[in-house]
Amino acid sequence: MVLQPKKTKYRKQQRGRMKGNETRGLSVSFGEYGLQALASAWITTSQIEAARVAIMRHLNRRGKVWIRIFPDKPITKKPAETRMGKGKGAPETWVAVVRRGRILFEIEGVTEAMAQETLSRAASKLNIKTRFVSRSRMI
């Protein structure tokens, strides 16, 4: 299951910048516990999927999970050993642009200890530092 948009207005995008903190998606809104990003990064479709699989396997059909990020930015790459020029490369993969403070995953219906263990397994699949947060005590 590769996450990517069904349709986009443009096939290619510029890289952009990830300055500053996130302004939206900062609080646990759907579940009881969440995984919050402590740095800014691009998170790829395969990383999101690996984290999702880790969560699902550990929860073993208990609780409910929300994925709060979606990869909507195409990343292009030119073929290996290609000379400079001749335009931009073809879209290779999709990434979600995540800034510091964003809630990445949410869980409910399990104990706090179980949620903490589950989200730490998911965090190990991601390329950024994260922290465990709960709705009752948002820091």
Strand ranges across the sheet with 103-108: 64-67, 103-108, 33-37, 130-134
Smallest Cα–Cα separation from 131: which of 123, 49, 21, 52?
Answer: 123
Phi and psi of 54, rounded to 5°?
-60, -40
Write the pLDDT tens digit of every residue in 78-117.
999 999 999 999 999 999 999 999 999 999 999 999 999 9
**What tokens were used for 78?**
């030119």
Domains in the chain (CATH in brackets) are 33-74+91-134 (3.90.1170.10)
Give the three-state DSSP class for 62.
coil
- HSE, CB side, 13 Å, CA atoms: give it for residue 137: 3
Cβ–Cβ under 8 Å, residues 38 and 61: no
Mean pLDDT of the chain, nearest integer: 94
* pLDDT of 135: 87
